[in-house]
Amino acid sequence: MFRKLTFLVLALLLFAKPVLAEKIVFAVDATWPPMEMIDENRQIVGYSIDYMTAVGQEAGFTPEFRNTAWDGIFAGLAAGNYDAICSSVSITEERKKAMDFSIPYYEVKQGLVVPKDSAARTLEDLKGKTVGAQIGTTGYFAIQRVSGVNARSYDEIGLAMQDLYNGRIDGVVCDDPVAAQYALNEPRFSERLKLVSVIESDDPEYYGIAVQKGNERVLELINKGIQAVKDKGIEDELKAKWFGL
Residue 69 covered by a domain = yes
Query: Do residue 98 and residue 216 come from a single domain?
Result: yes
- pLDDT tens digits along 145-203: 999 999 999 999 999 999 999 999 999 999 999 999 999 888 999 999 999 988 887 78
Exposed, middle or buried by CB within 10 Å (0-12, 13-18, 19+), for 200?
A: exposed
Residue 218 covered by a domain = yes
Q: What is the pLDDT of residue 199?
A: 86
Residue 30 covered by a domain = yes
Query: Do residue 43 and residue 157 come from a single domain?
Result: no
Q: Give the chain's domain count.
A: 2
Query: Do residue 211 and residue 102 come from a single domain?
Result: yes
Position 4 confidence tier, pLDDT thresholds 50, 70, 90:
very low
Position 13 confidence tier, pLDDT thresholds 50, 70, 90:
very low
Position 245 confidence tier, pLDDT thresholds 50, 70, 90:
low
Residue 1 covered by a domain = no
User: How far apart are alpha carbons 205 and 13 in whole angstroms?
Assistant: 42
Query: Do residue 212 and residue 128 come from a single domain?
Result: no
Res 101 pLDDT > 50? yes
Averaged pLDDT score across all residues of the chain:
91
Q: What is the pLDDT of residue 171?
A: 97
User: How far apart are alpha carbons 75 and 214 in whole angstroms?
Assistant: 16
Residue type, 93: E
Contact call for residues 212 and 178 (beta carbons, < 8 A): no
Closest C-alpha among 191, 170, 179 to residue 118: 170
Question: pTM for the full model?
Answer: 0.82
Query: Do residue 116 and residue 165 come from a single domain?
Result: yes
CA dihedral 224, 55, 32, 70 (to 10 degrees): -60
Those residues with Cβ within 8 angstroms of residue 72's Cβ, 6 or more apart along the chain or in another chain: none
Average pLDDT over residues 22-47: 96
Exposed, middle or buried by CB within 10 Å (0-12, 13-18, 19+), for 92?
A: middle
Average pLDDT over residues 208-220: 97
**Lowest model confidence (mean pLDDT) among 10-14, 112-116, 162-166:** 10-14
Residue 222 covered by a domain = yes
Res 21 pLDDT > 80? no
Average pLDDT over residues 67-80: 96
User: How far apart are alpha carbons 175 and 48 in whole angstroms?
Assistant: 14
Residue 81 covered by a domain = yes
Expressed as residue numbers, the domain containing 77 is 14-107+206-243
CATH number for 174: 3.40.190.10
Query: Do residue 162 and residue 49 come from a single domain?
Result: no
Query: Do residue 35 and residue 71 come from a single domain?
Result: yes
- pLDDT tens digits along 37-70: 999 999 999 999 999 999 999 999 999 999 999 9
Res 2 pLDDT > 50? no
